[in-house]
A and B are shown apart, each in its own frame.
Chain A
Amino acid sequence: MKYSLTFWALIICMSACKQGEKNVEAGHPKQVGDLFFNPKTDKAGYQPCHADLVYQYYNFSNGLQFKGEKPAIDRYFKENFKATEAEHEDGYITIRFIVNCEGKACWFRVEEMDLDYQPKHFSKAISNQLLELTKELEGWEIAEYEEEKYDYYQYLSFGILNGQLTEILP
């Protein structure tokens, strides 16, 4: 046979893995924005505590919850982000992730858009830097309700103008 059984087994396996990455039927996920473990990008050690029940950061009515509040996040990125003067590097980089029941952030996903809200690729010097800084950021509060701890989705969105960081949202 031109292609060995091993080859075809690999092809079938890769297709199955890609489906596993989506983990849902075609169409809407169980919840808008649901994330699924990606073995290529997600650190095996950090997981949601209950992957089938991840809330949203706003479900607890306290807004963004971080030790030192929003100023601490602003200070962290101001001190650590190295801007690059770059024309046409304008738009937003949004990083979505899960804060698990131990306050650890995991499963990071990046969405980049220009000022017209169209998909865009920023230079890696900007996008990778923001992603790594977000991954290293520590201080997320644990979401608690009636003495139980929950996982929640959170995002940080970075406004960029000429390669400079102008906004950190929410």
Chain B
Amino acid sequence: MKYYLSLLFSGFSLLLSAQPNCNVYKEDPGCYEACLEAEKAIRHPQGSKESQEHFDNSIELCPSFDYSYQQKAVPYLKRGQFIEWKRLIDKAVELNPTGHLGNRAWCRYQFLRDYNGAIEDIEKLETMASYDIGTGTNGDYHLIITKALCYKALGQKEKAIQIMIDHLEKDDYEAMSYDYLHLGVLYLEMNEPTKAISAFLKQIEINDYLADTYYYLGQAHSILGEESQSQEYFQKALSFYASGRHMMDPYTHHSDRVFKNDIEVKIGKAAIDGIQKK
């Protein structure tokens, strides 16, 4: 049983490691061999002695093989050993800035809430890349939206809203899973509940799977004094939460994520207010 559990989890980790394309290194024997070592590394469970040793071999064969530095860094990040993670990812960025700045930025934001560091990386990448800089590592957010979330957290809410709106309005951009939810929360924080409601309803059109959206809709309607509507949304939020339909990340927490207790407090508070009014 334990053997099969290990296989299941190691397979999951392997699927998350993008395979390098070794054919591009065929003209450089050292780096070609380094790439083959990296392929061996990702056949072992992420973070295992065997995997890390193959990455070490890869780096020894080709010290400029940035992929191996980045991949070797990942288990340290996931397991809370941030000093070593940063040392390795910095090397990857140094060797291939456009290849790894986005990843480092997103990891700084998502795992460490290092907002200034993430902004610095994203803005540097924007100056270096003439193309779409793409999404964060787990695909939840475009890096421009990630930047907006960082500004939001730093209290620069107007700037955050503008960045988000500008990006959402681009012809070649399709809103991702949580974009409008975060925009709506920003409007709530700026005390603009009507705009917030529009954003949340747009969120539901794109992704109607989140208790979080209904919770914030409840908040918005409560600000507008529409308590009955507010409570309906809180009840829906609780129902969604009970069936597992909410923001979820296996490693960290999304910003603006709502928890069961948050919803229950709103429902409970309304019940108490209702009793007091009677």
Q: Is A45 an interface residue (CB 8 A)?
A: no
With most chain B CB atoms within 10 A of its CB, the pick from A53, A58, A69 is A58
Q: Which residues of B contact A32 (CB under 8 A)?
A: 47-48, 52, 75-76, 79, 81
Can you list, as one digit per residue, whether each of A47-76 has a CB less than 8 Å from chain B (1) or not (0)?
Answer: 000000101101101111000111110000
Q: Which residues of A contact B250 (CB under 8 A)?
A: 58, 61-63
**Pairwise interchain contact A31-B47, C-beta atoms closer than 8 A:** yes
**Pairwise interchain contact A119-B83, C-beta atoms closer than 8 A:** yes
Interface hit among A3-11, A125-133, A145-153: A145-153
How far is the CB of B245 from the nearest CB of chain A, in Å? 15
Q: Which residue of B lies closest to A157 (CB)?
A: B80
Interface hit among A12-20, A22-30, A78-86, A100-108: A22-30
Interface hit among A36-44, A110-118, A134-142: A110-118
**Pairwise interchain contact A70-B253, C-beta atoms closer than 8 A:** yes
Q: Which residues of B contact A163 (CB under 8 A)?
A: none
Within 8 A of A (CB), among B155-197: none
A29→B81 CA distance, assembly (Å)? 14
Within 8 A of A (CB), among B64-108: 75-76, 78-83, 86-87
Given contacts A32-B76, A111-B82, A159-B112, contact A71 B252 (CB under 8 A): no
A59→B81 CA distance, assembly (Å)? 17
Q: Is B132 an interface residue (CB 8 A)?
A: no
How far is the CB of B79 from the nearest CB of chain A, in Å? 4
Q: Is B261 an interface residue (CB 8 A)?
A: yes
Give the size category of B's interface with A.
Answer: 35 or more
**Pairwise interchain contact A33-B253, C-beta atoms closer than 8 A:** no
**Pairwise interchain contact B261-A71, C-beta atoms closer than 8 A:** yes
Given contacts A33-B75, A59-B9, A70-B259, contact A111 B49 (CB under 8 A): no
**Tally of chain A residues near chain B (CB < 8 A):** 41
Q: Which residues of B contact A64 (CB under 8 A)?
A: 253
A62→B248 CA distance, assembly (Å)? 8
**Pairwise interchain contact B81-A159, C-beta atoms closer than 8 A:** no
Given contacts A71-B261, A153-B79, A159-B113, contact A33 B86 (CB under 8 A): no
**Pairwise interchain contact A68-B261, C-beta atoms closer than 8 A:** yes
Number of A-B contacts (CB under 8 A): 103
Q: Which residues of B contact A72 (CB under 8 A)?
A: 261
Can you list, as one digit per residue, whether each of B1-37 has a CB less than 8 Å from chain A (1) or not (0)?
Answer: 1100110010010000000000000000000000000
Q: Which of B9, B49, B260 contacts A69 (CB 8 A)?
A: B260
**Pairwise interchain contact A146-B47, C-beta atoms closer than 8 A:** no
A62→B246 CA distance, assembly (Å)? 12
With most chain A CB atoms within 10 A of its CB, the pick from B56, B82, B260 is B82
A170→B254 CA distance, assembly (Å)? 10
Q: Is B131 an interface residue (CB 8 A)?
A: no
Given contacts A28-B52, A69-B261, A159-B113, contact A33 B251 (CB under 8 A): no
**Pairwise interchain contact A31-B1, C-beta atoms closer than 8 A:** no
**Pairwise interchain contact A30-B81, C-beta atoms closer than 8 A:** no
Q: Is B240 an interface residue (CB 8 A)?
A: no
Q: Which residues of B contact A155 (CB under 8 A)?
A: 79-80
Given contacts A33-B75, A63-B251, contact A117 B83 (CB under 8 A): yes
Q: Is A92 an interface residue (CB 8 A)?
A: yes
**Pairwise interchain contact B82-A94, C-beta atoms closer than 8 A:** yes
A157→B110 CA distance, assembly (Å)? 13
How far is the CB of A64 from the nearest CB of chain B, in Å? 8
Q: Which of A33, A71, A159 contacts B262 (CB 8 A)?
A: A71
Binding site for B on A (CB under 8 A): 27-33, 53, 55-56, 58-59, 61-64, 68-72, 92, 94, 96, 111, 113, 115, 117-119, 145-146, 148, 150, 153, 155, 157, 159, 167, 169-170
The 9 A-B residue pairs whose C-beta atoms are closest, nearest first, are A155-B80, A117-B86, A32-B47, A33-B79, A32-B75, A170-B252, A28-B49, A28-B52, A59-B9
Binding site for A on B (CB under 8 A): 1-2, 5-6, 9, 12, 45, 47-49, 52-53, 56, 75-76, 78-83, 86-87, 111-114, 248-253, 259-262
